Structures are given as C-alpha cells and as structure tokens.
Copies of this chain bind each other. A is one copy, B any other.
Amino acid sequence: MARKFDNRPIGVFDSGIGGITVLKALRARLPHENLIYLGDTARLPYGTKSAETVTAYATQATRNLMTHDIKMAVIACNTAASVALEPLSAALDPLPVIGVVGPGAEAGVKASKNGHIAVLATEATVRGGAYLRAIHALAPQADVVQKACGLFVTLAEEGWIKGDVAEAAARRYLEPLFKGRQKPDTIVLGCTHFPVLARVIARVVGPGVKLVDSAATTARAVELALTEKGLTTNRRGKGKVRFLATDSAERFARVGGIFFGEDITAKQVELVDLLPG
C-alpha cells in the first residue's frame, strides 16, 4: 500500500502566547511540518474564567483555525484542554484533536518513582480536575496534589522569570506542598507559561524533584497521530510557521519571543477577529 501524505498545516491553539512552548516542541520534533498558531490574546487569560466561557471562546478560536485548512488541531492551552477537549473534538469532528493534558499526565507518571505528583496549573484547570483524572487513568494509585499558581502566568508575561519576586511567589505556592514526609518527586507544569519559570521552581523545591511539562510529550503524541493517520508531510525543507492573534501584534511578538526562543516581529503576526457562535 502506498504511504499517504498530507501537506496541510497543523493548527495550534492557545489562549495567548504561552502555547508557543508547545509550538517550539512541535517545530523541533517535526521540522518539515507547516504550523499555524492562533493565540486569543484579546481575551486571555482563560485560566481565571468559567468552563462555559472557556469552551465558547476555544470553540470560536479552533473554528477560525479550521478556515485555514488544517489537518489536525493541537490544544496547547492547558485550561482549554482541561475543560473543553470533548466539546472541541465534537465541534471539529472529523479533524483529529490533541490536547496537552493527556501527554502532560503521561510525562508526570513516567517521571515519578514514588507515585507522588504535584500538578501546578491555573485556577480553571485545577477546578476542572482533568489532570487528576488523566493521571489516575494511567496510575490509579498515584497520590496527586493540584495547586493553582495564578501569579506565575503574570510573572512569565512580565518577563520576571528569575529574581526575588518569582522566588518569593514560588516559595509561597510550593513550600506547603513539599513540607510533609512523603514529598512529591515530580512536578507537572500544567500551564504553558510555567516552563519559563522552571529554574526558579526547581530552586525552591530543591534537588530530587523532576519538573515535566507537556510540550515534548505532546509533540510526540502529534507525531504518532500523524503517522497513524497517514497525515505526515512529505516536504523536505523547513516548514512555515504562521502566527495569528486576536489582539496586540506587538505585545505578541515581544512576549512570544521569550517562549519561542527565536525573535518574532510584529509584522509576522496577523490580527484576526473571532466571532461568537
């Protein structure tokens, strides 16, 4: 049987800019794929909003991505992947939809030896409990503690990823979780903003605690799904990356560069309108 190919882009959706960490991992693992990233910067953050609003906004955003003829949607926003993956999959059917929560949970379970896992996430992700369920589906005996770390989002966006403010915030959020006798040996960074704060988090919790995020495991899950469904590109050169945002191309470029590890110029960012319904 002839191998199938598909040169359409992969759509990556995030509430804002943090999902670029997932985009970066996709680019590293699948350099030939065309990627199109949409950040709903006009309405971020999602992490403080209700499940209903997050679902409505994420549906509008992924519908916009569909107009760009994507072959697969990656929900890089932990909050949207936590509370809206089912409705999004239904809305985008038959397009394959991959969220970051499953791969993130998998990374956590693989990394943990003592079965004690801490999940750091937004308020909405913690409330939704999707990480808890995903980890228990893989490791029913795991002892999971969740912690909403809202300030980490702003610290990452402010670029304050080291220094005394970030460290004091990390201490305040994390010390209570690492006080007991049976400490977590693994932290799942359950928000795309948090990997840029990994160094300060590691210093606060001390050695012997592994920090994992869903970027790399999501990229692997995407690769597997592409292969399985015959959707891999057969292009040879480096794939194109397009950026769409709902607001503030300049801010997107400036903060996005922190997450992408490469400069993004405001000219590379196209503004789009998302329509309700």
Contact surface of A with B, Cβ cutoff 8 Å: 41-44, 48-50, 53, 123, 150-151, 153-155, 157-158, 160, 163-165, 168-169, 171-172, 246-248, 251, 275-276
Contact = CB atoms under 8 A, between A and B. Distances in A.
B157 A165 contact: no
Contact of A150 (B150, B154, B168, B172): B154
Given A151-B165, A172-B163, A49 B248 contact: yes
The complex is assembled from copies of this chain, and their number is 2
A247 B46 CA distance: 11
Contacts of A276: 275-276
A31 B157 CA distance: 40
B48 A157 contact: yes
A247 B45 CA distance: 13
Contact of A247 (B44, B50, B154, B275): B50
A49 B53 contact: no
Contacts of A53: 42, 246-248
Contacts of A123: 251
A80 to B, nearest CB: 14
Nearest to A274: B276
| Shortest Cβ-Cβ A-B pairs, 6 listed | A154-B154, A165-B168, A164-B168, A53-B247, A50-B248, A165-B169
Contacts of A153: 154
B165 A158 contact: no
17 contacts: A42-B43, A44-B48, A48-B248, A48-B251, A49-B247, A50-B247, A150-B154, A151-B154, A153-B154, A160-B172, A163-B172, A164-B171, A164-B172, A165-B169, A165-B172, A168-B168, A275-B276
A58 to B, nearest CB: 13
Contacts of A164: 168, 171-172
